[in-house]
Structure 1
């Protein structure tokens, strides 16, 4: 067995679940945390060894203090803390209830800040430790119908970069991130929805195990950020270098590939509390379909962009 002690917040599903199983396969001693105790027990049963289970809501600072205390009482220290807890909401900004928008921000940004505050205090006491925050491709780009999640992830990107800079003053402490693109997890079907159709990850879609492998690499040899997704850099380039083209393309692409054709009534999903986990989801569009639409869209957007430039210069 490894002497390394790893805390995973958001361990009940998706990327956190895959990361927990990957750490366990390495022989690390695990502390699993999430809101749903029942789901945590299911994950623990899939892990090698006997993980410590601590039901935790990252929006509650007292829960995180109790989590830290339980981990230290059981194992004496914490070497790695991986935070993957997140919720999502679909819908145009004005259609998403304010309380839902605020709760997504509270969970995905302030919840990670709460985790960082507790973890870094523990690491400072130990004079060592690695904090891994789960960022997103959507911390580098924008897309319609996901304003709350994107706002939170852009904020988290700034927080993580700042914490990494401050951690340079304490050589034994590292802060790093993993930024996945589309991943096949229940987060899309569990999300709050005010868009009228069930959400789905647009292609290309990665397995959560690939993201978990990147989290393990950061735990073994911390770096600044690992981007996980074959199209991530291409999409980021389009967002940065061709903003007019990107803004023309992304709304229809999101409607076609980020939302399924399966209708759904308005609901808050798992934003305010645990909900039944739904594995899989609506059929994924093929990469060939996306390429065909994107090729036609790029041509149309290029013509539009050229026209705009001509008008601007006239």
Structure 2
């Protein structure tokens, strides 16, 4: 307990920008960071959802409308945050969505929209905060990827491709930015019980089939907070899934035969 308190104390007064923070794990993470004494900067596209978040977060915080698919908007908002708060210590790239569809049925625009938000949104925000972090001599970029970025399954070709891209970017940036004192982390959750699934799986079939495996938003948010406090390079959630994916890499044919039905529930 003492070690955990010490780790969380390191978050005090840290300026933490979170994209896609008006619902789901972004919103819960913002609230938990505020409880730890950090200063969460909550961003999202919806003004009404941002207004609703004001009652959920205690202490010093910030609220900004932000569209991660708009180059100019990202730069404008990041510049304003840096001016208003004096620095940017941490960026949590959480904005994203998924659509679970068969490849042959999915329109091309769905692939493009997911890539523009999930991957290019991460690129835009990271590039916007980087000059501030480099001038400070430190910083931390946390990319919320997915277990889908390590193991693709049926009906997730478009979404999984975006998360594979996020993980590739994360690994490259970790090595590139280390000399500047900037840490880069990836958090890779499995399916979470959030509004994300309402968009990805409107019929509810997938959510029902994995009900026993769904992560709670608080579990993921707690992990994100610990990753920020400890500057952990990468975390898979749940741990058992991370181990399973490593075993899959060692024997993919065997895994396809024995785990195919378990993995492909969409």
Who is 2:200 aligned against?
191
Determine the C-alpha separation between the residues in 2 that align with 1:230 and 1:64. 34
Q: Which has the greater radius of gyration?
A: 1
Q: Check conservation: 2:198, 2:204, Cα contact below 8 A.
A: no
Normalising to structure 1: TM-score of the pair? 0.75
* The one of 218, 228, 232 aligned to 1:209: 218
Moved over 4 A (4+): none
Q: Is the counterpart of residue 236 in structure 1 residue 239 in structure 2?
A: no
Normalising to structure 2: TM-score of the pair? 0.88
Determine the C-alpha separation between the residues in 2 that align with 1:83 and 1:48. 22
Question: Can you give the 5+ residue segments of structure 1 that lack an aligned partner in the other structure?
Answer: 260-314
Who is 1:14 aligned against?
24
* The one of 74, 82, 104 aligned to 2:84: 74
Q: Is the counterpart of residue 98 in structure 1 residue 108 in structure 2?
A: yes
Q: Is the counterpart of residue 36 in structure 1 residue 46 in structure 2?
A: yes
- SS in structure 2 at match of 1:31: strand
Question: Can you give the 5+ residue segments of structure 2 that lack an aligned partner in the other structure?
Answer: 1-10
Q: Is the counterpart of residue 246 in structure 1 residue 255 in structure 2?
A: yes
Who is 1:272 aligned against?
none
Who is 2:185 aligned against?
176
Question: Over the residues paired in the alignment, what is the CA RMSD in angstroms?
Answer: 2.0
Q: Check conservation: 1:182, 1:229, Cα contact below 8 A.
A: no
- SS in structure 2 at match of 1:169: helix
Deviation at 1:112, TM superposition (A): 0.7
- SS in structure 2 at match of 1:210: helix
Alignment of 1:224-303 (within 5 A): 224-249=233-258, 252-254=261-263, 258-259=265-266
Which string of whole-angstrom CA distances, capped at 9 and with x for unpartnered residues, describes residues 164-219 of structure 1?
Answer: 00012212x111111111211110112276xx765427242211111111211221
Who is 1:27 aligned against?
37
Tell me how many residue pairs correspond in the alignment: 254
Q: Which has the larger helix fraction?
A: 2
Q: Is the counterpart of residue 167 in structure 1 residue 177 in structure 2?
A: yes
Which string of whole-angstrom CA distances, capped at 9 and with x for unpartnered residues, describes residues 251-276 of structure 1?
Answer: 53355xx44xxxxxxxxxxxxxxxxx
Q: Is the counterpart of residue 122 in structure 1 residue 136 in structure 2?
A: no
Deviation at 1:222, TM superposition (A): 0.7
Identify which range, 89-98 or 69-78, moves more after superposition.
69-78
